[in-house]
Amino acid sequence: MYIRTATIEDLDAIAQVEAECFPSAEAATAAEFKGRLEHYADHFWLMFDGDLLIAFVDGFVTDQRDLTDDMYEKAEMHDENGDWQMIFGVNTIPEYRRSGYAGELIKRAIEDAKNQGRKGVVLTCKDRLVHYYAKFGFENEGVSDKSTHGGVTWNQMRLTF
Ligand SMILES: CC(C)(COP(=O)(O)OP(=O)(O)OC[C@H]1O[C@@H](n2cnc3c(N)ncnc32)[C@H](O)[C@@H]1OP(=O)(O)O)[C@@H](O)C(=O)NCCC(=O)NCCS
């Protein structure tokens, strides 16, 4: 297993993993990932088993404190000098789950954000994953009124350095 950041060459593999992990109402499309990779490929953390992409974490950087739904589509909002590393997606393909891979990627994203001088990391998640992200130091700020995509209730969680 090894971790690296992305290039545009990873587009198809990333879209495939996303489609395996999320229902279509919540999944980002290949077109959205293309925009994201063009603007912030260095803020994708990919884990491979040989040539196979098995998990990834991604999200851009911004001075905005709160995660809003428009961020998912508007990759051009990425600000390389921003304060907050957002996390838009955490995915592990089903056959590789419960082995700590997503956890390793989350820890790497946190470490990189710290080394880059950010203020912290922000994500949204469903109720059932609040305890999972709390293990990495994220604090639940409650239900987000700024993110409703997929018709789901999202909790905003923040790790401040
Ligand atoms: C959520 C998701 C990313 C987790 O990926 P993962 O690689 O299985 O994550 P981890 O292995 O780090 O942790 C998952 C669970 O396995 C447990 N685990 C980790 N290593 C383990 C091991 N060696 N043996 C047994 N269990 C282990 C973790 O403690 C965690 O359990 P918990 O939920 O009770 O805390 C994955 O299930 C997924 O892609 N789901 C669909 C998409 C999704 O919902 N993403 C989150 C967006 S909010």
Q: For residues 109, 86, 115 and 82, what is the CA-based torsion angle, rounded to 10 degrees? A: 160
d(C-alpha 91, C-alpha 94), whole Å = 9
End-to-end CA distance of the chain: give it in Å, rounded: 28
Cβ of 132 below 6 Å from ligand 1: yes
Q: Domain boundaries in the chain?
A: 2-160
β-strand 84-87 against 120-125: which pairing, if any? parallel
Cβ of 159 below 6 Å from ligand 1: no
Ligand 1 atom closest to the Cα of residue 106 is 12
pTM to 2 decimals? Answer: 0.94
Strands (DSSP E) found in 5-127: 44-49, 52-58, 61-62, 84-87, 89-92, 120-125
Find the helix or strand (DSSP H, E) in which 143 lies: strand 139-143
Strand partners, 95: none
Task: Tell me what pLDDT residue 145 has.
Answer: 81
Task: Tell me what pLDDT residue 75 has.
Answer: 96
Q: For residues 79, 21, 26 and 116, what is the CA-based torsion angle, rounded to 10 degrees? A: -10
Task: Tell me what pLDDT residue 1 has.
Answer: 95
Ligand 1 atom closest to the Cα of residue 104 is 12
Q: What sign results for the dihedral spanned by CA atoms 64, 62, 146, 47?
A: negative
Tens digits of residue pLDDT in 102-132: 999 999 999 999 999 999 999 999 999 999 9
Domain spanning 2-160 has what CATH number? 3.40.630.30
Tens digits of residue pLDDT in 54-94: 999 999 999 999 999 999 999 999 999 999 999 999 999 99
